[in-house]
Amino acid sequence: MKKILVLALTGAAALFAKHKLDEGKNEQDLWREATDPVRKA
């Protein structure tokens, strides 16, 4: 029973960490797009 609980907590922590990393990457992409230099046509 203890192993299952530890496994579940580890999985939840991994999902949380992945979500935070993806969130940071998405925000970084948004800032990169917003601050792109304007190209003259």
Can you give the pTM of this predicted structure?
0.63
State mean pLDDT over 9-13.
97
What is the pLDDT confidence band of residue 13, given thresholds at 50, 70 and 90? very high
Q: Phi-psi region for residue 40, left (φ > 0), alpha (ψ -120 to 50) or beta?
A: beta
Residue scoring higher pLDDT (38 or 20) = 20
The owner of tokens 């999902």 is 15
pLDDT for the residue 41: 67
What is the pLDDT confidence band of residue 36, given thresholds at 50, 70 and 90? confident
